[in-house]
Chain A
Amino acid sequence: MARWIRHSYGRSFAVLLVFLALPSFGQDLLLPNSPDSLRFAVIGDTGTGGRAQYEIAREMEKWHTTKFPFELVLMLGDNMYGDEDPRDYRRKFEIPYRPLLRAGVKFYASLGNHDDDDQRFYEQFNMQGQRYYTFRPKAGVRFFALDSNYMDAKQLDWIRSELSRSGSEWKICFFHHPLYSSGGRHGSDEELRAVLEPIFEEHGVSVVFSGHEHFYERIKPQNGIYYFISGAGGKLRRGNIRKTEFMGKGFDTDYHFMLLEINGDEMHFQTISRKGKTVDAGVIERPKEARPAAVAAGESLK
C-alpha cells in the first residue's frame, strides 16, 4: 500500500512513501532502474576498516551487480577514522569497495571531522584537490560537496555563487554535519543551519545529504528542502534517535546505505540495511517553479 503526502513549505514538494508496503517488498528493488536516469548511492561515516563497513560494501556490490547498476557514490565524510597512511587508504577504502571501483563506479567524497584535508588530493575521491567542489554527472543534475568542518566566508561566497550560476533543475548538496538531526549524541547543527539554509532556499536546493550521526534519518521537508542523514556505513549508534517534530523516518538498529535514482522531475530513494532489507523508500518530486539560471545553457560537465 502506498500513501502520498504533500507538504507546502513555500515550495511545493510531494513524496510518495511506500513504507507501509516494505515488509512485503523485502529485498526487492523499488527504484525504476531506467537506463536514461542518473543512478547513484550514498554512504556516510564509513572508514573504520571494520567488519560492518565490509559487509555494507559487499551488499552494495550485490545490488550494483544484480539489481541496480549505479554509476557513482557520494561519501558524506569520516571517510577514514584513525590513521591515514597508505595502508589505511587500502584497508578503509580501496579493499572494501574494490569490486565497485573495478566496475567503474566513481566515488565523490566530502570531508568529515575525522578526515585529513589531504584526502582532497586522493585520486579515488574525485575532489579536484578542493575541500569543496561541484560536478554535474548528467544534464539537469548538479552536486555540491561542502566542507562543513570549516564554513568560512570564502566557502559561503563560493556556494552562493555556484548555486546562482547553476541552471540545473536538481541542485543537491552533500556534506558531513546535518542541519537537522534527531540524534541524541549530536543533534542538529543550528550554527551551520543559520548560514546555509537561507542560501539553499534562495537558490533552489532540492535535497541535502549529511552524515556525522551514525544512523539513517529522513527529515520531513523543511522550507521546501529534503534532508537525509546517512551516517551508518561503517559505524552505528544504536538506539540514538530521539523523537522530534521534524523526523520523517529513522533507522538506528543496523548499518545501511542508500540507493537513488533521478528520473526527470522525480528522485526515487531506497535505503537498505546491512542484511539487504529495505528500511525506507519513496519518491521526491522536484519543485516546479522557475529557477534562477544565469548560465544554464553554458554549464560545463565537470
Chain B
Amino acid sequence: MINTKQRKILALLASVAGALPLFATDVQVVKDFTARVDEYVKMQKSLKSKIPPLLEKATPEQIATHQKALAAAVQEARSGAKQGDVFLSADPYFRRIIASELQRAPHNAARETIKEGNPKNEPPTTPVSLAVNAEYPKAAPVSTVPPILLLRLPQLPETVQYRFVGRDLILHDTEADVIVDYLTKVVP
C-alpha cells in the first residue's frame, strides 16, 4: 500500500515528462550538452588507455595511483578549460528545470535531499574548491541528488555525475575525482 504522500510524489514523477513546457530549443540544447559530455568522456577514455588500468579487484595503492594519474592527465589535457565549457548554452535550461522541480516537489523533500551530504552542510576538513579541473577532496562528502532531478535532467555516462556543493551544481568526474564544469547558484 502506498500512502498519500508517496502517491503525490509518484504522480509527480509520472507526470514529469509532460509537466514542464518543452521549448523547441530544449531538445537541441540537451542534445548539444550531451554531445559535449560524450566528448569529455571520449577524452577521458583515451587518457585512461595510457595509464595502468584499474581492475575490479584493486588494492588501495592501485586505486590511489590510478586516480592521481588520471586526474593529472585530465588536468593537463584540459588545462585551458574554463567554467561553462560543458554547460555552455544549457545553463538557462538547467536553472529552469532545477528551480521548477524543486518548487513542485511536495514537502520540500527535494531541497532536503540536496542538503544530505552536501559539503556546505557537512563541512569537510578540506573544503571543496569550486573550479574547473579542481580535485574533489576525498575527505568531502557528496550530496545526494534527488531522484526527481536525476529523472528529469539529461542522463550522464557512468563516470560523470551531477552533484551539489551548497547551491552550486557540479559535473563530477568520479574516476579522476575532478570537477569538469559547474553552475553557480542553481538552487534558488
A190, B147: Cβ atoms closer than 8 Å? no
A197 and B109 alpha carbons, distance in the complex (Å): 16
B10 contacts chain A at the CB level, 8 A cutoff: yes
Which residues of chain B are near A189, meaning CB under 8 Å?
Answer: 113, 116, 144
Contact between B175 and A117, CB atoms less than 8 A apart: yes
With contacts A113-B143, A186-B116, A189-B113 known, is A198 near B175, CB below 8 A? no
Task: State the main secondary structure of chain B at its contact with A.
Answer: loop
B63 touches A149 (CB 8 A): no
* Residues of chain A lying within 8 A (CB to CB) of residue B155: 152-154
Asked whether A152 lies within 8 Å of B151 as measured between CB atoms, the reply is: yes
Q: How many residues of A contact B (CB 8 A)?
A: 41
Among B58, B107, B158, which residue has its beta carbon within 8 angstroms of that of A121? B58
Chosen A-B contacts, 9 in total, with CB atoms closer than 8 Å, are A10-B1, A118-B63, A119-B63, A150-B145, A150-B161, A152-B156, A192-B147, A194-B13, A198-B2
- Interface set of B (CB-CB < 8 Å, partner A): 1-2, 5-6, 9-10, 13, 54-64, 66-67, 105, 107, 109-110, 113, 116-117, 124-125, 138-139, 141-148, 150-151, 155-156, 158, 161, 174-175, 177
Which residues of A sit under 8 angstroms from B59, Cβ to Cβ?
86, 122-123
**Distance between B75 CB and nearest chain A CB, rounded to angstroms:** 17
**A223 close to B138 (CB less than 8 A):** no
How far apart sit A194 and B64, CA to CA, in the bound complex (Å)?
A: 36
Contact A191 B110 (CB under 8 A): yes
Partner of A191 from the list B9, B117, B139, B142 (CB cut-off 8 Å) is B9
Residue in A122, A151, A193 whose beta carbon sits within 8 Å of that of B150 in the complex: A151
Contact partner, B6, options A121, A129, A148, A193, Cβ 8 Å = A193
Residues of B with C-beta under 8 A to A150? 144-145, 150, 161
B5 contacts A149, CB within 8 Å?
A: no
Number of A-B contacts (CB under 8 A): 116
A116 part of interface (Cβ distance < 8 Å) = yes
Q: Which parts of A58-91 form the interface with B (CB within 8 Å)?
A: 82-86, 88-90
Q: Chain B nearest CB: distance from A152 CB in Å? A: 4
Q: How far is the CA of A192 from the CA of B146 in the complex (A)?
A: 8
Docked-complex contact A118 and B67, CB < 8 angstroms: yes
B102 to A: closest C-beta gap in Å: 11
Measured between alpha carbons, how far is A189 from B105 in the docked complex, in Å? 13
A82 and B105: CB pair below 8 A?
A: no
Q: Which residues in chain A, 101-156, are within 8 Å of chain B measured between CB atoms? A: 113-114, 116-119, 121-123, 128-129, 148-154, 156
Is A171 located at the chain interface by the 8 A CB criterion? no
Query: With A118-B175, A189-B113 in contact, do A113 and B2 touch (Cβ < 8 Å)?
Result: no
Instruction: Tell whether, in the assembled complex, residue B138 and residue A84 are in contact, meaning their CB atoms are under 8 Å apart.
Output: yes
Q: In the assembled complex, how far is the CB of residue A93 from the closest CB belonging to chain B, in whole angstroms? A: 9
Residue of B nearest to A89 (CB): B60
- How distant is B74 from chain A, measured CB to nearest CB, in Å? 15
Query: Is there contact, CB below 8 Å, between A116 and B64?
Result: no
CB of A21 within 8 A of chain B? no
Q: Are A114 and B117 in contact (CB under 8 A)?
A: yes
Best-surrounded residue of B5, B55, B142 (most CB of chain A within 10 A): B142
On A, residues with C-beta under 8 Å from B are: 9-10, 82-86, 88-90, 113-114, 116-119, 121-123, 128-129, 148-154, 156, 177, 186, 189-195, 197-198, 223
For residue A198, which residues in chain B have a CB less than 8 angstroms away from its CB? 2, 10
Q: Which residue of chain A has its CB nearest to the CB of B7?
A: A194
Give, as a whole number of angstroms, the nearest-CB distance from A60 to chain B. 22
The answer for the CA separation of A88 and B147 in the assembled complex, in Å, is 31
Asked whether A195 and B58 contact (CB < 8 A) given A149-B117, A190-B109, the answer is no
CB-nearest residue of chain B to A131: B158
For residue B176, which residue of chain A has the nearest CB?
A118
- Output the least CB separation between B167 and chain A (Å): 18
Contact A121 B55, CB 8 Å, known A85-B60, A150-B161: yes
Given contacts A83-B139, A149-B145, A197-B6, is CB(A191)–CB(B113) below 8 Å?
yes
Among A122, A128, A152, A154, contact of B60 (Cβ-Cβ < 8 Å)? A122
- Chain A CB within 10 Å, residue with most, of B107, B143, B150, B151: B150
In the complex formed, the residue of B with least CB distance to A149 is B144
Contact A86 B64 (CB under 8 A): yes
Nearest CB on B from A44, distance (A): 15
**Min CB–CB distance A155 → chain B (angstroms):** 9
Tell me if B6 and A191 are in contact (CB < 8 A): no
